[in-house]
Structure 1
């Protein structure tokens, strides 16, 4: 029985001795090795997407972000903006005034319209915007041209300025 204990104890003893030798080799380094000081690498800054621009050679859908950005700027500058402000801003942004339509700011009984709608016929499609107190803010969309060749249904206001 004594011999059995030595047989099982020997491998355990050898394993412990090996651990002690390895620990002594790594833990007893009297002089730490110097690591070169490194400056922290610069963190990449999030890049903002470039501001959209008018791309007349592209589709209406590909220009919707630009159309929306122009109209959002109008809303930011004047929360009470009417149709003329949107048309003027779109013209200044490079859209063709002759291809635009806008609804009236006032109803036939001279009340403020719930919303104003405006459009640009662009590359065979319609860029349409809507803004007003009862429309939940600004909305923009691309829609097909109507059978009449226009973008907006009903009577629109002449753009004669």
Structure 2
């Protein structure tokens, strides 16, 4: 005579097997970071490596330093100091640009209104200038490498002393 297995015991075993299988399946589906692996250095959206931030190179050309000049201009423009010529000069000096080679236009018009446009510059060598322009009339910041003027200046018109 064959004995029939105890029904409650077989259900308990089946439940335990199913629970174990689910636990294994769920564990296999979750990922845990491997602390010894380094993060993926590529930009997930484009698959390209992220670009290093630009750096000031005192021995480089004006063209080589335009990216850092532009980056600083955009950072100040994005701050609460966007209408302050001094903020651009101070940020450029903090990055390594020589303050004695800089020019900046006034923040206000002759009648005391906020300037529609600010210009600032850094003389580079004997032939070039890094020039920036920002303000409501400009829209987004504009930066460029320009030829120096005859007197070694970079900006046309009145500039204010950089005496701070």
**What stretches of structure 1 of length at least 5 have no aligned partner?**
1-42
Coordinate RMSD, CA, aligned: 1.5
Q: How does 1:134-145 map to 2 (within 5 A)?
A: 134-145=137-148
**Residue of structure 1 aligned with 2:73, choices 67, 71, 85:** 71
C-alpha deviations, 1:64-107, integer Å up to 9, x for none? 00100111111122263310000000000100000000000101
Q: How does 1:63-102 map to 2 (within 5 A)?
A: 63-78=65-80, 80-102=82-104
Structure with greater Cα Rg: 1
Task: Give the TM-score, by structure 1 length.
Answer: 0.70
Distance 2:67 2:73 in 1: 10
Q: How does 1:3-18 map to 2 (within 5 A)?
A: none
Q: Give aligned pairs, total.
A: 119
Distance 1:122 1:140 in 2: 14
Q: How does 1:10-159 map to 2 (within 5 A)?
A: 45=42, 46-78=48-80, 80-124=82-126, 125-159=128-162
Distance 2:54 2:111 in 1: 39
Distance 2:70 2:41 in 1: 29
